[in-house]
Amino acid sequence: MSRRRSYPSRRQEHLPSRPTWRCRACGCAWPCSAAKLRLLGRYREDRAGLLIHLTALHEEAAAELGDVISAVVLLDRFVSWARVRG
């Protein structure tokens, strides 16, 4: 009989830390590369849903970072990378 042990995960999720919108795990501007990969995987069959989700997060970030980072930079950071290319 084998027993599985449950160990706490040492891997921290790449989630945003608000109000700075930096990644909790790696400290990069969120969404970091790991967060983008996770989001692409989660929304693999629903690109429109991904864009809606990212647009909502973009609006929240713009409200908190609007005095620090331009709207164009935030749009590129949050939404533009997820658009279908080509």
pLDDT at 8: 47
CB 14 within 8 A of CB 23: yes
**Three-class SS state of 17:** strand
Could you tell me the pTM of the whole model?
0.81
- Each residue's pLDDT tens digit, 9-56: 556 899 999 999 999 999 999 999 999 999 999 999 999 999 999 999
| 16 cis-preceded (ω within 30 degrees of 0) | no
**Identity of residue 32:** C
Rounded Cα–Cα distance for residues 19 and 21 (Å): 6
C-alpha triplet 37, 19, 16: angle, nearest 5°? 15
